[in-house]
Amino acid sequence: MQLQGRTAIVTGAGGGLGRSHALMLARLGARVMVNDLDAAAADGVAGEIVSRGGQALAFAASVTDEAKVAEMAGRAMREWGSIDILVNNAGILRDRSFAKMDLAEFRLVVEVHLMGAVICTKAVWETMRRQQYGRVVLTTSSSGLYGNFGQSNYGAAKMALVGLMQTLAIEGEKHGIRVNCLAPTAATQMTDGLLPREALDRLAPEFASDGLAALVGENAPTRAILCAGAGHFARANITLTEGLQIGGGADAHEQVVAAWPHISDRTGEIVPDYGLTQSERELASAGAADALTTRD
């Protein structure tokens, strides 16, 4: 019961991955606010948790509705006195090749995945800062990390969440807030028709939810991207190669083209601690290391 006394909010928890996440968190002792757009689905999952001896409440709301999300966070605080864990899981698909996709479909997916996570995280952020404790999980995807045909809207939103994680983890660190991404592979209603039938049993949502525990516990990492599915777990990283100092000059562009294999060589690549690492290294390579002053 490693999450005993902790309060968790899970969005999109009326079925699929969200339901699996909520049930697992409750099994580990957390009190769970079950959010879903579908009130009956949210009630059903909350009821499952209570029937198993856990504590749960249902709250029906779109993650894009700022007022309702704020109301949900307020209710969690009134009922349980803290918000310790937020799992941003809610999402939709509108798959279509970029050539055939209209901008409304693109905006809608970005609004739900990216802005929905922003709205929910903003609603709990100050509480977590005040508590000096928080665990935030953003749901990314291999479609964002590596691309997938027909998912330019979904992939763009999912990679944007990685960027959000990187900065929130830096800003939250001194307040005891750890922020991570989960990239799950699971057979859910969202993936109907996308996965072969023989893969469905191996990709049950519970296999991905097992990885969630590592991201929300007392000893959770921060700024990690955990890829999870079928019982397999791996960590993805955004890396930076050593590169090559070319400088300027009339033929610099030609040198970049000619040196592309060297520039791309992954030997000695790093995972930067923060965005300015790139600028710091570029200036150091150019002999101007003192030109950049980092801010606290």
Residues serving a catalytic function are 154
Long-range CB contact pairs, 262-267, < 8 A, 24+ = 265/241, 266/239, 266/241, 267/242
Rounded to whole angstroms, how far apart are CA atoms 226 and 212? 9
Taken in order 25, 27, 33, 35, the sign of the CA dihedral is positive
Strands (E), the chain: 7-10, 31-36, 56-60, 85-88, 134-139, 177-184, 225-229, 232-236
Do residues 34 and 46 make contact, with C-beta atoms less than 8 angstroms apart?
A: yes
Taken in order 154, 115, 8, 222, the sign of the CA dihedral is positive
For the chain, how far is it from start to end, CA to CA, in angstroms? 37
Burial (CB < 10 A; 0-12, 13-18, 19+), residue 68, is: middle
